[in-house]
Amino acid sequence: MNRLARIQQARIVPVIRKADEANILCITEALVDGGIKAIEITAETPKAAELISKASEQVQGRALIGAGTVLDSQTAKHMIEAGADFIVAPTLNVETIQLSNRYGVPCIPGVFTPTEIQTALDAGAQMVKLFPAGILGPDYIKNVHGPLPQASIMATGGIHLDNMMDYFKKGAEVVGIGSQLVKPEALKTEADYSALQSLAMSYVQKTERINEKLAAHL
C-alpha cells in the first residue's frame, strides 16, 4: 500500500503545532497507541525537521509522519530530507507539488475554490486539503464533487469529534484535526498523555465504520 492510500485509510490526521523536543515523542506515542496512523507536524514549529526525524524513528513505520504548513518547495525538500512521509500545505504552490512528486512523496496542497482544486490536480496533486473547511461546511464538499468527482479531499479547519462524520458523509476522505485533538502546551503529565491516547481512540473508533462500509462495497 502506497503512502497516499495509507493516509486515505487512516482517515484522521492530527495536526501537531508548536510541539518541542521535550514532548514530541510522548505526543506521537500517545496518538499511535490510540490508533492514529498518520500524523502531521507543522513546519513553522521550531526545529520541525528534527522533530519529524525523531518522531519517524519513534514510530518505526507504525504511522506516517508528515510535514504541515509547508509554504514552498525549499521547505518541502528540507522536510522530505528529514524523513517526512507526506507534505501538507495551507495554500496552493505548484512548485511544492512538483518537488514532492519528484521525490515520490504525496503533497496535499491547500485549496478553497474549484479553480484551485483543478489547478492542484493538473499540477499532479493526488489529494487536496480543503481549508478552512469549517467556513465552507460539509455540503461544500458534496457540491464540489458534482463537477469534480475525481478530487480526493482532506478537510481541515474547525473539525472535531462531534462534526467529523458530517464531513465524511458529504465526501471527505480524510480530516485534519488540530487543537481539538492535540494541544502540546497543555500536555505535561502522564495523565495528560493518557487522556490524549483515549481521545485519539475515540476519533479512530468513530471512523472504523466508514472503512467497514467501504470494504463491504469492494
pLDDT of residue 215: 60
Mean pLDDT in each 10-residue stretch from start to end of the chain (218 residues)?
95 96 96 98 96 95 97 98 98 98 98 98 98 96 97 97 94 97 95 98 89 61
The 3-class SS string of 119-173 reads HHHHCCCCCEEECCHHHHCHHHHHHHCCCCCCCCEEEECCCCCCCHHHHHHCCCC
CATH architecture of 3-209: Alpha-Beta Barrel (3.20)
Q: Which three cell numbers stand for residue 47?
A: 526545529
Which residue among the candidates 40, 54, 170, 173 is catalytic per the annotation?
40
Residue 93 burial by CB count (10 A; 0-12/13-18/19+): exposed, middle or buried?
A: buried
How are beta strands 38-42 and 87-88 bridged, if at all? unpaired
Residue 188 annotated among the catalytic residues of the structure: no
Q: Which residue(s) pair with 111 in the sheet?
A: 130
Overall pTM surpassing 0.85 (yes/no): yes
Does the annotation mark 37 as catalytic? no
Considering 37, 77, 129, 170, which one is annotated as catalytic? Answer: 129
pLDDT score recorded for residue 6: 97
